[in-house]
């Protein structure tokens, strides 16, 4: 099979190469997946470079990448199942988040990390959902406990996590303000944002508005500036993929000292939450926003584009015929 193989840590163009490799072997709890599409995330770029270096200490490989084939978001068709897998069978269309290996024609996926593909999505759209969708869902529901009538601010609302966060917040009845650049104002309105602030024309920290919940996907302002936008008991989540570890540790140190909650977090794979996202998508309350797609042999270009930080919604690598 064809797959993108990573030789070492570094820039995409230097360390990624399309190679012909053996199909992965599956265990008794796994699924062999015929990959149709794979989502690209900022976290994939961090893992590709092995930075921050603490990632290497967390089990991703000290001197080189643990997973030779990168990629975590995946959508495709079940080719075969392990002996203990009962919920899927060959031919099923699924999506989910795996430990690595999505940028390939076939991938080994633990069955517990997969869910049936939403029927109204293409494979490309489904591959855009898992990590960004789970991050937005768990941040708003589990950490922020966002509910109807609350005021929500999404900074970096036009990115992958941001576009899901806007729609999920609206689905529970919150009032949503999104911050983005000029080119994305109309898109944010089209997915349900009540108010949109174009950061090139207005300073969102000086509107006089306070919010019950802030999700910061950009880290272009200090925690002090953002805290002034929070209600006295509000919650701020500095997205862990933005701003680096220093910002995360500072948030954790400050939170016990103030009435507001500063809660950096990392999303976790959860089949129940994939099914919750599927329900929202099937009900047409959430729709993935896709900026552009790349063929498998241009995966390095896809990662370069995402790493520049200006993707509108999600970027997806298409593997073979991805319609469906």
Q: What's the CATH code of the domain at 94?
A: 3.90.180.10
Query: Do residue 222 and residue 199 come from a single domain?
Result: yes
What are the tens digits of pLDDT across the range 211-241? Answer: 999 999 998 888 889 999 999 999 999 875 5
Residue 154 within a domain? yes
Residue 272 within a domain? no
Query: Do residue 139 and residue 117 come from a single domain?
Result: no
**Interatomic CA distance for residues 311 and 300, integer angstroms:** 15
3-class SS at 140? Answer: helix
**Interatomic CA distance for residues 230 and 209, integer angstroms:** 9
Query: Do residue 200 and residue 234 come from a single domain?
Result: yes
Q: How far apart are the first and last CA of the chain?
A: 21
- Structural domain ending residue among the three candidates 215, 245, 262: 262
**Interatomic CA distance for residues 233 and 142, integer angstroms:** 16
How many structural domains comprise the chain?
A: 2
Query: Do residue 23 and residue 87 come from a single domain?
Result: yes
Query: Do residue 216 and residue 297 come from a single domain?
Result: no
- Structural domain ending residue among the three candidates 216, 244, 262: 262
Q: What's the CATH code of the domain at 148?
A: 3.40.50.720
Residue 323 within a domain? no
What are the tens digits of pLDDT across the range 27-65? Answer: 999 999 999 999 999 989 988 887 755 565 555 665 678
Residue 213 within a domain? yes
What range defines the domain where residue 56 resides?
Answer: 2-129+288-318
Would you state the structure tokens that stand for residue 83, as one six-digit string?
A: 């002996």
Q: Any idea which residue has 């012909």 for tokens?
A: 20
What are the helix (H) ranges across the chain? 12-15, 42-49, 54-55, 123-127, 130-137, 160-171, 185-190, 223-227, 244-254, 271-282, 299-307
Residue 282 within a domain? no
161 neighbors 132 (Cβ within 8 angstroms): yes
Cβ-based neighbours of 281, under 8 Å, separated by 6 or more: 118, 120, 121, 129, 287, 288
210 neighbors 230 (Cβ within 8 angstroms): yes
**Interatomic CA distance for residues 115 and 134, integer angstroms:** 13
Percent of the chain with pLDDT over 90: 77
Examine the pLDDT at 193 and tell me if it is beyond 90.
yes
Query: Do residue 119 and residue 177 come from a single domain?
Result: no
Query: Do residue 52 and residue 30 come from a single domain?
Result: yes
- Mean pLDDT computed over 77-92: 97
Res. 323 pLDDT band, cuts 50 70 90: very low
Query: Do residue 76 and residue 142 come from a single domain?
Result: no
Query: Do residue 252 and residue 149 come from a single domain?
Result: yes
Examine the pLDDT at 67 and tell me if it is beyond 80.
no
Residue 278 within a domain? no
**Interatomic CA distance for residues 287 and 128, integer angstroms:** 10
Residue 267 within a domain? no
Query: Do residue 257 and residue 305 come from a single domain?
Result: no
Examine the pLDDT at 249 and tell me if it is beyond 80.
no
Query: Do residue 125 and residue 156 come from a single domain?
Result: no
Residue 274 within a domain? no
Query: Do residue 23 and residue 117 come from a single domain?
Result: yes
Comparison of pLDDT for 55 and 163, the residue scoring more: 163
Lowest mean pLDDT among 99-113, 154-168, 238-252: 238-252
- Structural domain ending residue among the three candidates 247, 262, 277: 262
């Amino acid at each position: 099979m064809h797959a993108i193989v990573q030789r070492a840590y570094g820039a995409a163009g230097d360390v990624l190469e399309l190679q012909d490799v053996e199909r992965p072997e599956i265990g008794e709890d796994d699924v062999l997946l015929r990959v149709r599409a794979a989502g690209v995330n900022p976290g994939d770029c961090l893992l590709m470079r092995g930075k921050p270096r603490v990632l290497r200490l967390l089990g991703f490989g000290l001197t080189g990448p643990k997973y030779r084939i990168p990629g975590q978001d995946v959508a495709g068709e079940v080719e075969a199942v392990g002996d203990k897998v009962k919920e899927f069978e060959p031919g099923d269309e699924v999506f989910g988040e795996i430990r690595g290996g999505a940028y390939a024609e076939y991938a080994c996926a633990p069955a517990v990390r997969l869910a049936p593909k939403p029927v109204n999505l293409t494979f490309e759209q489904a591959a855009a959902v898992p990590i960004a969708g789970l991050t937005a869902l768990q941040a708003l529901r589990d950490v922020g406990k966002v509910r109807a009538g609350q005021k929500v601010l999404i900074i970096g609302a036009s990115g992958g996590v941001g576009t899901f966060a806007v729609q999920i917040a609206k689905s529970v009845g919150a009032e949503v303000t999104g911050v983005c650049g000029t080119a994305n104002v109309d898109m944010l309105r089209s997915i349900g944002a009540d108010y949109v602030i174009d950061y090139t024309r207005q300073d969102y920290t000086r509107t006089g508005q306070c919010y019950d919940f802030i999700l910061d996907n950009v880290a272009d302002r200090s925690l002090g500036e953002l805290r002034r936008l929070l209600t006295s008991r509000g919650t701020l989540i500095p997205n862990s993929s933005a701003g680096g570890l220093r910002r995360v540790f500072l948030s954790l140190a400050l939170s016990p000292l103030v009435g507001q909650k500063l809660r950096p977090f990392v999303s976790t794979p959860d089949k129940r939450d994939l099914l919750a996202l599927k329900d929202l998508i099937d009900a047409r309350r959430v729709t993935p926003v896709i900026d552009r797609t790349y063929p498998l042999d241009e995966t390095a270009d896809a990662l370069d584009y995402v790493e520049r930080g200006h993707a509108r919604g999600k970027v997806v690598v298409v593997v073979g015929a991805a319609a469906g």
